[in-house]
Amino acid sequence: MSEPLVEVKNLKQYFPVRSGMKTQMLKAVDDVSFTVGQGETLGLVGESGCGKTTVGRTLLRLYEPTAGEVRFDGELVTDKNIHAMRKQMQMVFQDPYSSLDPRMTVEDIIGEPLDVHHLCSGRKERREKILELMSYVGLNAEHARRYAHEFSGGQRQRIGIARALAVNPKFIVCDEPVSALDVSIQAQVINMFEELQEKLGVAYLFIAHDLLVVHHISRRIAVMYLGKIVEIADADELNEHPIHPYTESLLSAVPIPDPEITRARQRIILEGDVPSPLNMPSGCAFRTRCRYATEQCTRECPALSNRGGGHQVACWNR
């Protein structure tokens, strides 16, 4: 098996939060490890507030990690080399409305990474490169002189994707890139991601909370709960044979367009509320909502263990 393109080991991201007279640490990402292969898509799913976006931003050092390490192409990512590595690692942000500068034309938005990294020798080469990038994502040459507010949400997201592709990266963090779009536009953008991957060989960390979208685009899927990864497996394997009770619950809520299957299957509804990241339960963070919880779950937090075929689960009782 080839070396992974991105390797994350024991990544932690804690934020200090003032509460009255004292400061508490909010554990947004707590001891997360995973890999992303060359040209692979790893889906990262979980409910809102579980730390998905923080993982993506910490990978690219938009946040300074509290602990742990990230390796890209075998090289440790640090403050000293991150600027050079930004040519290889890019991000597509969740909100296409706030992630584009309203005072810049589309040509300048897409061309900014080319200017920052000095990738074009002159105006003619820069212009040609920008038009090529626009054609990749389905935008016309006449769009180059327009401003972001003149475009629909789907078109704005395409501009953001073209900007990420400008430096010819090997790896892109896609932070819920279709969640703000209409369903019909979502399909177009997802198909575009797949076509670009086939054409350019780029790898994705695809962050989302829609399991149907993630299953469609990903080769493997990692499930997060309160800052920890609780299960990782191939997309089909996770969909057909979930092991962790949280994954089972998520999958049972996915709508299926077949009334007979919908009536036959059992919806798993979790009891209780999600614990506060500032006041985490002892042991396993999921135990307060888990029907399989035992005394061991109260004492110790389970680590990911391999159940065969690369299917890893963090659970004592499953």
What local confidence, expressed as pLDDT, does residue 258 receive?
A: 61
Domains of the chain: 6-88+169-313 (3.40.50.300)
What local confidence, expressed as pLDDT, does residue 264 receive?
A: 63
What local confidence, expressed as pLDDT, does residue 266 receive?
A: 67
What local confidence, expressed as pLDDT, does residue 50 receive?
A: 87
Secondary structure (DSSP) of 218-282: -SEEEEEETTEEEEEEEHHHHHHS--SHHHHHHHHTS--S-HHHHHHSPP-PPPSPPPPTTSPPS
Q: Dihedral (C-alpha) 288, 294, 296, 302: value to the nearest 10 degrees?
A: -60
Q: How far is the C-alpha of 91 from the C-alpha of 115, rounded, in Å?
A: 17
Q: Which amino acid is located at 239 in the chain?
A: N
Measured distance between the N- and C-terminal CA atoms of the chain, rounded to whole angstroms: 29
* CA distances from residue 178 to 32, 92, 125 in whole angstroms, order as listed: 24, 10, 31
Run of H or E residues at 41:
strand 41-45
Per-residue pLDDT of the chain (318 residues; tens, 9 = 90+): 468 999 999 999 999 988 778 888 888 999 999 999 999 999 999 888 888 999 999 999 999 999 999 999 989 999 888 888 888 999 998 888 888 899 999 999 999 999 998 888 889 999 999 999 998 888 888 999 999 899 988 889 889 999 999 999 999 999 988 887 777 788 888 888 898 899 989 999 999 988 888 998 999 999 999 999 999 999 999 988 999 999 988 888 776 666 666 666 666 767 777 788 888 888 888 888 888 888 898 888 899 999 888 899 999 887
Contact residues for 279 (Cβ-Cβ < 8 A; gap 6+): none
Q: Which amino acid is located at 226 in the chain?
A: L
What local confidence, expressed as pLDDT, does residue 35 receive?
A: 94
Nearest to 38 by CA among 76, 85, 73: 73
What local confidence, expressed as pLDDT, does residue 15 receive?
A: 92
Secondary structure (DSSP) of 103-172: TSBHHHHHHHHHHHTT--SSHHHHHHHHHHHHHHTT--GGGGGSBGGGS-HHHHHHHHHHHHHTT--SEE
Q: Tokens 């890893």 — which residue?
A: 312
